[in-house]
Chain A
Amino acid sequence: MKQTTRMAAASGRPEKTSPDWLGMHRTMLLIRHFEEAVRSLATAGAVPGLVHLCAGQEATNVGVIAALAKGDMIASHHRGHGHCLAKGADVASLLGEILGKEAGLCGGRSGSMHFIDLDNGNLGTNGIVGGGIPLAAGAALAARARGGDEVFVCFFGDGALNQGLLHECMNMTAIWKLPVVFVCENNGFGEFTAIDDVTAGPSIVARGEVFGIPSKMIDGMDVRTVFTTTQRAVTRARAGKGPSFIVCNTWRFGGHHVGDKQDYKADAETKRWLARDPIPKSAKRLIAEGLTTAVKLKTLEAQITTQVRVAVERVRNAPEPAATRLAEHVHG
């Protein structure tokens, strides 16, 4: 995914950068189809352990990451396949890892929840709620020490709002003005518990404001809103002005993990959120603006379906890790 900067022939000056909305749409589609494939594989018993899908949250995943430069880094969480893909993970390497295969990027040791991909600037998905937050904040500290201008994003869910780590890191990044963007993907539930039942105070946004961090709650189902808001936060961070906090209101279509019956959700609310699906919304806008056509989008979707299917075929029956690998990489 990249922003396109076209050069105007006459002046040689770059035109105003136009965001790659179509590219963002493509990545959202990839995530949706990827998650669907993982769901099928998990239902068929092919996935070891628990797996948490991000279908429904694609706009927050993609909108944020599209606003980053290649060298910028993210720390993800347990619902992190979308972040990994948007940050550039190879589809088959991620899928192979989720299936615990030798061919997975991490040799079948990390699975879905501990996938680390530093080559693509991803400090990893994380099995500890809030665990990735200090990793991104600390990477920012290191970057500043070496004089770099990279920006670092901490993704976390509303479930992490009550972890002390978040507040400690907001405090430290604020006093040190570190280039960090805190992104809360607020899908309304920490596991099976509604956010309102466990979260005190007048608003989530106030939790950033109390540290003097510019904080904003936005529609996390609209990739463009997410992108433009993040872009401002990234510019601010890169300019040395310190962290920002963005709360993206969103919804996980598939529940906490594959197999979650979701009987704690009200049907009317589910219906309301499904109607706000970020992908059709983005498609409609792209067509209306003449950036693509319905036919082209169909072709694009067919390409992505094939891309995912090929990856599934490649890794589904790929070899398990060799027994001799068990004790490798404990120490360097």
Chain B
Amino acid sequence: MVEPRVLSFREAVLEALFLEMHADPNVMLIGEDVGAAGGVFKQTEGLFKTFGATRIIDTPISEPGAFGMAIGAAMAGARPVFEVMFGDFMTLCMDQLVNQAAKVRYMSNGRASVPLVLRTTMGTGANLGPQHSQGFYAWAAHVPGLKVVVPSNPADAAGLMRAAIRDNDPVLFFEDRMLYPAKGAVDADIPLVPIGKARVLREGSDVTLIAIGRMAQFALDAAKRLAADGIEAEVIDPRTLVPLDQEALLQSVRKTHRAIVIDGAPRSYGVTGEIASIINEDAFDWLDAPVMRLGAADTPVPISRTLEPLWRPDAARIEKAVRTLLS
């Protein structure tokens, strides 16, 4: 077996991109400053030197047209990875995403497809404020025809990026920028992670914490603190929201009889409500308490150093919620 290496989230995804571009000449990278500049967050560093300007396309600041072109490229045989620098800018691509990319397979009765990855960043913690922080994965998950991936650690992110590029449908890939420097063990050959499979990050018997993206890291921190008091939390990262590995979530709830769903996006009409409903519908008889939901405030993301950390859940709030649920 090849020794695992310790890579940051950013480095791991970059290696995944390199591997896939190397393996398949149809893979293209399209976005703003993704070429010679190597990405605003150094997330495409070095790729341009290897793969050049025919496969790595630096676009003008023209998200609707450039993303529409990525869809056309995908329909014509390419496998574009399209980068939206900040998740908030995804709104500029929404028509192309919802009315073209998501519907082509269905409209064509399976005769055409759009094998592309829309990669974007999100996250709070750097005071980037209302128009540079949000992740619209819940919106995307509401659109039939899209797949939605929200990884929480380097190995999953890299393996899922490889799988997303190989997938024959439009896959939206949401990266929390605050995780970019986070290190983790990654097998040298970067194994594929199947889209649609949840991962149990920590086993436990007292409560199930279902946590999205970076929230999974907060949930692990909370679980560690709770363990000191003899409370064993099971932490599950769904990894992909569409398709959602419902059975893995339900199995855990049937074991622990309690669940908290934790998300870093506004709570109303979001992912937590969907997952809580699934548990209520399919595991109600196993529950000892109502499913609890933790989400961000139903407000835009404030820029203030005082207000921003209050906006979304963190380890302390998760810990407190578990104690409340168990009391």
Is B129 part of the binding interface, using a Cβ–Cβ cutoff of 8 Å? Answer: no
Q: Closest residue to B243 on the A side, CB-wise?
A: A331
Tell me whether A123 and B25 are in contact (CB under 8 A): no
Q: List 26 A-B contacts (CB under 8 A).
A: A105-B109, A110-B108, A116-B108, A118-B111, A118-B112, A123-B75, A126-B100, A128-B100, A131-B96, A133-B68, A134-B67, A135-B72, A135-B100, A138-B75, A140-B72, A141-B72, A142-B28, A142-B74, A142-B76, A145-B54, A145-B73, A146-B26, A146-B77, A164-B65, A172-B65, A332-B169
A153, chain B: closest CB distance, angstroms = 12
Q: Closest residue to A141 on the B side, CB-wise?
A: B73
Known: A134-B72, A137-B72, A145-B55. Is A106-B65 also a contact (CB below 8 A)?
A: no
Is A143 part of the binding interface, using a Cβ–Cβ cutoff of 8 Å? Answer: yes
Tell me whether B71 and A172 are in contact (CB under 8 A): no
B191, chain A: closest CB distance, angstroms = 22
The residues in A between 114 and 137 inclusive whose CB is less than 8 angstroms from any CB of B are: 114, 116, 118-119, 123-124, 126-128, 131, 133-137
Is B145 part of the binding interface, using a Cβ–Cβ cutoff of 8 Å? Answer: yes
Contact for B106 among A109, A141, A168, A169, CB less than 8 A: A109
Contact for A171 among B57, B60, B167, CB less than 8 A: B60
Chain A 77-115: CB-based contact to B (< 8 A → 1; otherwise 0): 000000000000000000000000000011101100010
Q: Closest residue to B59 on the A side, CB-wise?
A: A172
Contact for A329 among B28, B72, B78, B110, CB less than 8 A: B110
The CA-CA distance from A330 to B102 in the complex, in Å, is: 8
Known: A145-B55, A146-B25, A172-B59. Is A137-B69 also a contact (CB below 8 A)?
A: yes
Tell me whether A332 and B99 are in contact (CB under 8 A): no
Tell me whether B68 and A134 are in contact (CB under 8 A): yes
The CA-CA distance from A164 to B68 in the complex, in Å, is: 12
The CA-CA distance from A43 to B190 in the complex, in Å, is: 60
Is A289 part of the binding interface, using a Cβ–Cβ cutoff of 8 Å? Answer: no
Note all chain A residues with C-beta closer than 8 A to B76.
73, 123, 138-139, 142-143
A39, chain B: closest CB distance, angstroms = 24
Known: A135-B75, A137-B72. Is A116-B107 also a contact (CB below 8 A)?
A: yes
Is B118 part of the binding interface, using a Cβ–Cβ cutoff of 8 Å? Answer: no
Contact for A109 among B72, B99, B109, B144, CB less than 8 A: B109
Q: Among B60, B71, B75, which residue has the most Cβ atoms of chain A within 10 A?
A: B75
Chain B 36-80: CB-based contact to A (< 8 A → 1; otherwise 0): 000000000000000000110101101011111111111111101
Tell me whether A165 and B65 are in contact (CB under 8 A): yes
Tell me whether B69 and A107 are in contact (CB under 8 A): no
Q: Closest residue to B96 on the A side, CB-wise?
A: A134
Note all chain B residues with C-beta closer than 8 A to A144.
54
Known: A137-B72, A142-B73, A142-B76. Is A328-B110 also a contact (CB below 8 A)?
A: yes
Tell me whether B105 and A332 are in contact (CB under 8 A): yes
Contact for A172 among B69, B80, B108, CB less than 8 A: B69
Known: A145-B54, A330-B144, A331-B145. Is A135-B110 also a contact (CB below 8 A)?
A: no
Q: Among B103, B168, B243, which residue has the most Cβ atoms of chain A within 10 A?
A: B103
Tell me whether A141 and B108 are in contact (CB under 8 A): no
Interface residues of A (CB under 8 A from B): 73, 75, 105-107, 109-110, 114, 116, 118-119, 123-124, 126-128, 131, 133-146, 164-165, 168-169, 171-172, 175-176, 328-332
Note all chain B residues with C-beta closer than 8 A to A331.
105, 145, 147, 169, 243
Note all chain A residues with C-beta closer than 8 A to B109.
105-107, 109-110, 328-329
Tell me whether B77 and A135 are in contact (CB under 8 A): no
Contact for A131 among B77, B78, B95, B112, CB less than 8 A: B95
Is B113 part of the binding interface, using a Cβ–Cβ cutoff of 8 Å? Answer: yes
Note all chain B residues with C-beta closer than 8 A to A123.
72, 75-76
Q: Closest residue to A119 on the B side, CB-wise?
A: B111
Tell me whether B71 and A138 are in contact (CB under 8 A): yes
Q: Closest residue to A111 on the B side, CB-wise?
A: B107
Is B104 part of the binding interface, using a Cβ–Cβ cutoff of 8 Å? Answer: yes
Note all chain A residues with C-beta closer than 8 A to B95.
128, 131
Q: Among A123, A133, A144, which residue has the most Cβ atoms of chain B within 10 A?
A: A123
Tell me whether B69 and A116 are in contact (CB under 8 A): no
Known: A131-B99, A146-B25, A332-B169. Is A116-B70 also a contact (CB below 8 A)?
A: no
Tell me whether A106 and B108 are in contact (CB under 8 A): yes
Chain B 109-149: CB-based contact to A (< 8 A → 1; otherwise 0): 11111000000000000000000000000000000110100
A18, chain B: closest CB distance, angstroms = 31
B324, chain A: closest CB distance, angstroms = 38
The CA-CA distance from A106 to B105 in the complex, in Å, is: 10
Tell me whether B107 and A168 are in contact (CB under 8 A): no
The CA-CA distance from A233 to B287 in the complex, in Å, is: 68
Q: Closest residue to B144 on the A side, CB-wise?
A: A330
The CA-CA distance from A116 to B105 in the complex, in Å, is: 10
Note all chain B residues with C-beta closer than 8 A to A138.
68-76
Known: A110-B107, A134-B96. Is A164-B64 also a contact (CB below 8 A)?
A: yes
The CA-CA distance from A145 to B71 in the complex, in Å, is: 15
The CA-CA distance from A135 to B101 in the complex, in Å, is: 10
Tell me whether A330 and B145 are in contact (CB under 8 A): yes
Tell me whether A145 and B28 are in contact (CB under 8 A): yes
Q: Closest residue to A97 on the B side, CB-wise?
A: B109
Note all chain B residues with C-beta closer than 8 A to A165.
64-65, 68
The CA-CA distance from A11 to B313 in the complex, in Å, is: 82
Note all chain A residues with C-beta closer than 8 A to B147.
331
Note all chain A residues with C-beta closer than 8 A to B110.
328-329, 332
Contact for A332 among B25, B60, B113, B144, CB less than 8 A: B113
Tell me whether B105 and A172 are in contact (CB under 8 A): no
Q: Closest residue to B115 on the A side, CB-wise?
A: A332
The CA-CA distance from A101 to B25 in the complex, in Å, is: 38
